[in-house]
Amino acid sequence: MSKLREDQLAVWRAFVNAHAGVIRRIEKDLAERHQVPLIWYDVLVALYQSPGKKLRMTELADKVVLTPSGLTRLVERLEKEGLVRRERTEEDRRGSYTVLTREGKRAFLKAWPTYEQGIREYFIQVLTEEECRIIGDGLSRIYQSSRL
């Protein structure tokens, strides 16, 4: 229950500000070139990288860090644009899969270079290899311990 030091608070603020800043920057780049918000690509990336190019709602919500209800609406929008399709599961009829459509794959491949470049330019390149490794380790642990 010790007090937070000044420099520790500064680290926290750096974390919050860096996040907001970089996200805004990437969002702007994507909007300028593709007119589609960042979170859409998070969904498409998650689906693209999953075996079978499909995921349960819960898995997807987890990957993109949204609440279940938030994800439902997000998938609705993507479905309306034809980038994903929903499939009722056979095994567990409570749930459904969100499947990447051909068009969704195309949209993803088209937008990915911009997104990738943003991550590189605003985030990765600003760090040394070692910093990058250490930050990855630390933040992964933080993420893990924040779940629950």
Find which of a copy of itself, DNA, none residue 93 binds, CB within 5 to 8 Å per kind.
Answer: DNA
- Whether the CA torsion 126, 130, 131, 135 is positive or negative: it is positive
Q: Is the distance from CB of 43 to CB of 61 less than 8 angstroms? A: no
Position 95 contacts DNA (CB under 7 A): yes
Site string for DNA, 67-86 (x = CB under 7 A): xxxxxxxxx-x--------x
Residues 11-30 that bind a copy of itself (CB under 8 A): 11-12, 14-25
Q: Which residues pair with 97 in a beta bridge?
A: 56, 87
27 CB contacts (<8 Å, ≥6 apart)? Answer: 37, 38
Position 131 contacts a copy of itself (CB under 8 A): yes
Site string for DNA, 99-128 (x = CB under 7 A): ------------------------------
Residues 13-42 that bind DNA (CB under 7 A): 24, 27-28, 37, 39
Q: Is the distance from CB of 65 to CB of 43 less than 8 angstroms? A: no
52 CB contacts (<8 Å, ≥6 apart)? Answer: none
Residues binding DNA: number (CB under 7 A): 27
Q: C-beta of 104: minimal distance to a copy of itself in Å?
A: 19
* Closest residue by Cα to residue 78 from 53, 109, 42: 42
Q: C-beta of 71: minimal distance to DNA in Å?
A: 7
Position 109 contacts a copy of itself (CB under 8 A): no
